[in-house]
């Protein structure tokens, strides 16, 4: 099986199960036009995030790594009327594009985008007594995965769901040589989740339009 098949099957999933979505199509088109890298989650993955928000009954969501806000919009759509996503982004250009996409998708009132290094924004959130968050999606600079997981634990409560993206990396997660900082970050996520008594987790390998990767998912006891 090849990447071509994975992409065709992702197309089949979307065309069979999802309504046409001109808003999300326009969001991805705006991201392209504005030169953002196409490293957002796929539509099928975005829908999974939205479903997880609903399954968890989440009202407070935290996302680390906004890009153009594609995954943020999916999660915002899963929230109740009084729900909120706080999303953290380092790059001012990404944040500008994301804000315009939130307007386009009609979710601006549900999204609080914080610009700056996520580690600083997380410390600020704690000092504001923000949270506890019901669902936390980690999808930023991978070497910081253990730091983000550590912050996630501080901003969580019993029952919080934590999702950490891109932890399989074409299978490179098996490499122990430490040559690739993103792989080191992926392995650190496994070490953290496996070593944290309050977390019960697994990881799922995925193929699709975004290639071969996977995500870790855990619940806080």
Closest to ligand SAM by CB, 6 or 151 = 151
Residue 18 beta carbon to ligand SAM: minimum distance, rounded to whole angstroms: 17
Token pair, residue 108, equals 């601006």
Measured distance CA(93)–CA(154) in Å, rounded: 29
Please, what is the minimum distance in Å from the beta carbon of residue 158 to ligand SAM?
A: 26
CB 74 within 8 A of CB 41: yes
CB atoms within 10 A of CB 35: 8
Q: Does 39 bind ligand SAM (CB under 6 A)?
A: yes
Minimum distance from CB of 141 to ligand SAM (Å)?
A: 4
Q: Is 21 a binder of ligand SAM (CB under 6 A)? A: no
Q: Is 215 in the site for ligand SAM (CB under 6 A)?
A: no
In the bound state with ligand SAM, the residue whose beta carbon lies nearer, of 18 and 221, is 18
Nearer to ligand SAM, 144 or 160 (CB): 144
Q: Does 88 bind ligand SAM (CB under 6 A)?
A: yes
Q: Is 137 exposed, middle or buried (0-12, 13-18, 19+ CB in 10 A)?
A: buried
**Is residue 104 a contact partner of residue 33, using CB atoms and an 8 Å limit?**
no
Are residues 160 and 76 in contact, defined by beta-carbon separation less than 8 angstroms? no
Q: By the criterion CB under 6 A, which residues form the site for ligand SAM?
A: 39-41, 65-67, 70-71, 88-91, 94, 117-118, 139-141
């Amino acid at each position: 099986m090849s990447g071509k098949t994975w992409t065709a099957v992702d197309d089949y999933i979307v065309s069979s199960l999802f309504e046409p979505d001109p808003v999300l199509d326009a969001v991805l088109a705006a991201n392209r036009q504005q030169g953002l890298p196409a490293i957002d989650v796929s539509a099928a993955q975005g829908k999974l995030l939205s479903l997880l928000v609903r399954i968890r009954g989440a009202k407070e969501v935290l996302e680390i790594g906004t890009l153009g806000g594609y995954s943020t919009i999916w999660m915002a759509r899963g929230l109740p009327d009084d729900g909120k996503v706080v999303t953290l982004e380092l790059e001012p250009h990404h944040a500008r594009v994301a804000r315009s996409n939130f307007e386009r998708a009609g979710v601006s009132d549900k999204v609080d985008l914080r610009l700056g290094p996520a580690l600083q924004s997380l410390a600020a959130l704690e000092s504001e007594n923000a949270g506890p968050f019901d669902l936390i999606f980690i999808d930023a600079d991978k070497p910081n995965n253990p730091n983000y997981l550590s912050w996630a634990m501080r901003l969580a409560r019993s029952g919080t769901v934590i999702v950490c993206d891109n932890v399989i990396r074409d299978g490179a997660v098996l490499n122990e040589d430490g040559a690739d900082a993103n792989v080191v970050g992926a392995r650190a996520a496994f070490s953290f989740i496996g070593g944290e008594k309050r977390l019960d987790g697994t990881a799922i390998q995925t193929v699709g339009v975004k290639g071969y990767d996977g995500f870790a998912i855990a619940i806080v006891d």
